[in-house]
Amino acid sequence: MGAVGLLVLFACVFGVYIVHGGDMAPIIAAAPFEFVSIFGAAVGAALIGNSKAGVGTGFAAAGKVFKGPKYHKEDYLAVILVVSKILKTLKAEGAVALEPHIENPESSAIFAEYPPILQDHALLDLICDTIRLMVVSSGNLSPYAVEDVMTASIKNHQHHEGMNATFWASMEGALPALGIVACVLGVVKTMGAIDQPPPVLGALIGSALVGTFMGVLLAYGIAGPFAIRIAQVVEEDGEIFKCVQQLIVANLHGHPMPLVIEAARSVINHHNKPSFGEIFDGMRGK
């Protein structure tokens, strides 16, 4: 919906302006210079307040606005199935049989059934690192201790992903002020031509005001909504990590499989939640 939203935004702002008799020529003439001045200054300020990598990931995260959440129903189903099979192997065959799957998941027959998980390093590490604890502890782990460790790991991951939303929120705060800076410089330029006839002065003043307009539009029409949407996507994508946590912790508590599965399903939003039938069909190989 991001692209649709941008179309509606520009249609309402500029379309209504044109319908009411506004002339786009002064805006078109001034916009490239004002954009470079304002947005370029915002990027410079972001470079001061962030690492180069942080700025890069912040801009890259804009793709989430248009693509939406990374994980979908089939991904949640795959995660439930692969973790369930790993836990079943641990229970049936013991830690020795499971160790190769955890230490070298790229060569694991279990993980090979779900290739996307192997490409997702954060999710793969959460699964393997936690199962490794179960393997080396010989069944003496406290479920509550494991839950605390996994919660800390998930919070750390979500914090770093959420910094991309914070990046755009900081841009939202900077852009209006930088638009005013560009406008003031335009006024300074106008005052230097105070002896010019009214049509010339009017064009210079109009060009200066485009700076304020553009700063506000970029802030509240683009940067702010980007920050909100990125935060929403990061929050929704975090559900798959909580799903893994619920599977492992419920298993450590010794709950029966239907309750383990329901614990995993309970943290998934309704449009991504696999049904019981889909999960058990997958576990039976159907």
Q: Mean pLDDT, 10 residues at a time, over the chain (286 residues)? A: 88 91 88 90 88 86 92 94 89 81 88 89 93 80 91 94 91 92 89 85 87 93 94 95 95 90 92 89 73
DSSP string, 6-17: HHHHHIIIIIHH
Q: What is the pLDDT of residue 286?
A: 53
Rounded-to-10 torsion of CA 192, 193, 198, 204: -70
Torsion of CA 246, 251, 253, 254, to 10 degrees: 150
Question: Tokens for 117?
Answer: 């998980």
CA neighbours within 13 Å on the CB side: how many for 112? 6
- Domain boundary assignment for the chain: 27-286
In sequence order, what are the residues at sequence separation of 6 or more whose Cβ sits closer than 8 angstroms to the Cβ of residue 89? 97, 98, 101, 110
Q: Residue 77: helix, strand or coil by DSSP?
A: helix
Residue 34 near residue 40, CB atoms below 8 Å: no
